[in-house]
């Protein structure tokens, strides 16, 4: 009986006395591996002989394929050149159990796990922030006892970064917010013929709430994130550790100037934002509602009570403290890789803004109870 022959583009197989010979030719490389492995699936014979004598090029993937035939189907290899045999042996030596996939977790397990982790992280963060606040107070008392440790240069630099450089953007934002409030208020109040109350709306909302709240959000986005990123990258490059070994406290050198500058500047920026919002609203009233500036200013003086300003000036430093602390705290939590810096920066901003708004709600209730309507 003549031997059965079937020729494909990549290898020929011949059946002889119950033994199947696979004769590979050309190059046995990654480029052709997909087709080859599909075709090899179809070869069903058991006693395989792999003939490599016509193979010109073989890479590790080709060697892997041959090794698998040898391992799984007991193929015998013939015609391999010395180099090819070396390569096959090398690959065979690398054939050991290697875990390629992460362990499987069912979605339910993962969701529950993540929820649990989130709760734990939140608890740890709050606990950490509390500890951080304590450390900050200790460092403040240290600075008070040794005033020479007050870093004048660092503080002035933070004044500039947090305060002066933020003036333009906070001013513009507040000015526009003032216009928006005036515009929206006027449209509604016009229906009752009470356009003049637009001034009350602008004055009271800017001074009492919006000025300081918008400023807090802007400072959290601008400075809180910068604190986290700066301190985070210093942590990564071991600058913070170097500081500690030299005997410089990172709390005093890095955290205090930032917190101090933010706490001090928040009321200033908040007040500035309120004034700019009033100016924006005033211009809208002048142009759109024909209320002359003189009348506007007089009316503002009548309707905005002093307690509104006190509220802003009391809230602002607290907001500043929260934002700066969240930024510095998250920065100091960075460890591992650069990706962490990004994550921590985001967390710092989100945490800062969230806590500011929660506290603002508390303040609102408190001031109402106190009678500062």
Tell me how far apart the alpha carbons of residues 219 and 321 are, in angstroms, rounded to a whole number. 11
When the beta carbons of 58 and 228 are compared against other proteins, the nearer one is 58
The minimum distance between CB 145 and other proteins, in angstroms, equals 41
Q: Do the bridges between strand 11-16 and strand 19-28 make them parallel or antiparallel, or are there none, so unpaired?
A: antiparallel
Q: Which of 27, 39, 60, 249 binds other proteins (CB under 8 A)?
A: 60
The minimum distance between CB 289 and other proteins, in angstroms, equals 55
The 8-class DSSP code of residue 255 comes to I
When the beta carbons of 9 and 37 are compared against other proteins, the nearer one is 37
CB neighbour list of residue 174: distance below 8 Å, 6 or more residues apart: 206, 210, 211, 214, 215, 272, 273, 274, 276, 277, 280
When the beta carbons of 98 and 108 are compared against other proteins, the nearer one is 98
Contacts of range 343-347, beta carbons closer than 8 Å, 24 or more positions apart:
344/228, 344/232, 345/225, 345/228, 345/229, 345/232, 346/225, 347/228
Q: Are 241 and 346 in contact (CB under 8 A)?
A: no
Residue 194, classed as helix, strand or coil, is coil
The minimum distance between CB 32 and other proteins, in angstroms, equals 10
When the beta carbons of 93 and 148 are compared against other proteins, the nearer one is 93
When the beta carbons of 18 and 336 are compared against other proteins, the nearer one is 336
Residue 16, classed as helix, strand or coil, is strand
Q: Which of 82, 290, 339, 369 binds other proteins (CB under 8 A)?
A: 339
Q: Which of 20, 28, 80, 87 binds other proteins (CB under 8 A)?
A: 87
When the beta carbons of 184 and 335 are compared against other proteins, the nearer one is 335
Q: Which of 147, 193, 247, 336 binds other proteins (CB under 8 A)?
A: 336
Q: Which of residues 90-119 bind other proteins (CB under 8 A)?
A: 90-91, 93-103
The minimum distance between CB 96 and other proteins, in angstroms, equals 5
The minimum distance between CB 338 and other proteins, in angstroms, equals 8
303 closest CA partner among 270, 283, 278, 273:
278
When the beta carbons of 84 and 205 are compared against other proteins, the nearer one is 84
281 closest CA partner among 156, 184, 145:
184
The minimum distance between CB 31 and other proteins, in angstroms, equals 7
Q: Which of 37, 81, 141, 237 binds other proteins (CB under 8 A)?
A: 37
HSE value, Cβ hemisphere, 13 Å, CA-based, for 330: 29
260 closest CA partner among 146, 153, 126, 131:
153
Q: Are 35 and 57 in contact (CB under 8 A)?
A: no
The minimum distance between CB 39 and other proteins, in angstroms, equals 14
When the beta carbons of 84 and 198 are compared against other proteins, the nearer one is 84
Tell me how far apart the alpha carbons of residues 267 and 270 are, in angstroms, rounded to a whole number. 5
Angle between helices 225-236 and 306-333 (to 10 degrees): 20
Q: Strand pairing partners for 57?
A: 27
When the beta carbons of 16 and 238 are compared against other proteins, the nearer one is 238
Question: Which of these segments, 81-89, 155-163, 168-176, 229-237, binds other proteins (CB under 8 A)?
Answer: 81-89
Q: Which of 21, 22, 28, 29 binds other proteins (CB under 8 A)?
A: 29
The minimum distance between CB 59 and other proteins, in angstroms, equals 4
CB neighbour list of residue 323: distance below 8 Å, 6 or more residues apart: 216, 219, 220, 223, 224, 262, 266, 352, 356
Q: Are 331 and 227 in contact (CB under 8 A)?
A: yes
The minimum distance between CB 337 and other proteins, in angstroms, equals 5
Q: Is 82 in the site for other proteins (CB under 8 A)?
A: no
Q: Which of residues 40-59 bind other proteins (CB under 8 A)?
A: 59
The minimum distance between CB 55 and other proteins, in angstroms, equals 15
Q: Which residues bind other proteins (CB under 8 A)?
A: 29-31, 33-34, 37, 59-61, 64, 68, 83, 86-87, 90-91, 93-103, 336-339
């Amino acid at each position: 009986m003549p031997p059965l022959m079937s020729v494909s583009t990549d290898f020929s197989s011949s059946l002889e006395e119950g033994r199947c010979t696979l004769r590979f030719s050309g190059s046995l490389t990654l480029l052709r591996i997909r087709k080859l492995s599909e075709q090899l699936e179809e070869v069903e014979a058991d006693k395989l002989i792999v003939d490599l004598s016509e193979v010109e090029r073989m890479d590790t993937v080709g060697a892997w394929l041959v090794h698998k035939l040898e391992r799984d189907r007991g193929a015998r290899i013939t015609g391999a050149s010395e180099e090819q045999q070396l390569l096959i042996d090398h690959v065979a030596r690398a054939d050991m159990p290697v875990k390629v996939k992460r362990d499987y977790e069912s979605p339910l397990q993962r969701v529950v796990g993540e929820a649990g982790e989130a709760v734990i992280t939140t608890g740890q963060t709050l606990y950490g922030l509390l500890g951080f606040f304590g450390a900050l107070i200790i460092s403040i008392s240290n600075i008070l006892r040794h005033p020479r440790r007050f870093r004048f240069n660092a503080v002035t630099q933070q004044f500039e970064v947090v305060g002066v450089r933020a003036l333009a953007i906070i001013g513009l934002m507040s000015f526009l917010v003032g216009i928006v409030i005036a515009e929206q208020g006027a449209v509604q109040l016009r229906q009752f013929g009470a356009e003049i109350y637009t001034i009350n709306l602008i004055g009271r909302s800017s001074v009492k709430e919006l000025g300081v709240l918008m400023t807090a959000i802007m400072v959290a986005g601008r400075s809180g994130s910068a604190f986290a990123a700066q301190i985070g990258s210093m942590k990564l490059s071991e600058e913070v550790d170097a500081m500690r070994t030299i005997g410089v406290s990172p709390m005093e050198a890095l955290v205090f100037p930032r917190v101090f500058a933010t706490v001090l500047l928040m009321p200033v920026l908040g007040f500035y934002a309120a004034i700019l919002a009033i100016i924006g609203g005033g211009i809208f009233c002048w142009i759109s509602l024909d209320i002359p500036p003189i009348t506007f200013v007089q009316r503002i003086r009548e309707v905005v009570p002093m307690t509104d300003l006190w509220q802003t000036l009391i809230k602002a430093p607290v907001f500043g403290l929260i934002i700066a602390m969240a930024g510095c705290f998250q920065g100091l939590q960075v460890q591992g890789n650069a990706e962490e810096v990004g994550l921590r920066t985001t967390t710092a901003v989100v945490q800062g803004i969230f806590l500011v708004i929660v506290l603002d709600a508390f303040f609102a209730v408190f001031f109402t109870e106190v009678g500062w309507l």
